Amino acid sequence: MRPNAVIIGLGQLGRSLAEGLVLAGWTVTGVRRDQTASELARPDLVVVATGEDDLGPALETLPPDWRSHRVVLLQNELLPDQWRRHGIIDPTILVVWFSRKPGELVRELRPSVVAGPHASAIRSALSALDLHAVEVTPSEVISALVEKNVYIWSMNLAALLVPDPTTSRVLGEFRDVYDALCRETVHIHEAALGHPIGDVAALCDGVAAILANEGERRLGGRSAKRRAERLAALARTLGVDAPTVARAAESA
Question: Could you give the CA distance from residue 193 to residue 143 in angstroms, rounded to a whole number?
Answer: 11
Identify the helix (H) or strand (E) that includes residue 115. Answer: strand 112-115
- Is the distance from CB of 92 to CB of 112 less than 8 angstroms? no
- Pick the more confident residue, 133 or 221: 133
What percent of the chain clears pLDDT 70, i.e. is strictly above it? 99
Q: What pLDDT score was predicted for residue 34?
A: 67
Q: What is the 3-state secondary structure (H, E, C) of 219-239?
A: CCCCCHHHHHHHHHHHHHHHC
Q: What pLDDT score was predicted for residue 39?
A: 77
* Mean of per-residue pLDDT scores for the chain: 94
SS3 category, 166: strand
Confidence check: pLDDT of 158 > 90 = yes
Domains of the chain in start order, with CATH, are: 4-136 (3.40.50.720), 139-251 (1.10.1040.10)
Closest CA to 149 of 193, 207, 201, 196: 207
Question: Could you give the CA distance from residue 31 to residue 29 in angstroms, rounded to a whole number?
Answer: 7
Q: What pLDDT score was predicted for residue 103?
A: 73
33 pLDDT tier (thresholds 50, 70, 90): low
Q: What pLDDT score was predicted for residue 170?
A: 97
75 pLDDT tier (thresholds 50, 70, 90): very high
- Is the distance from CB of 92 to CB of 138 less than 8 angstroms? no
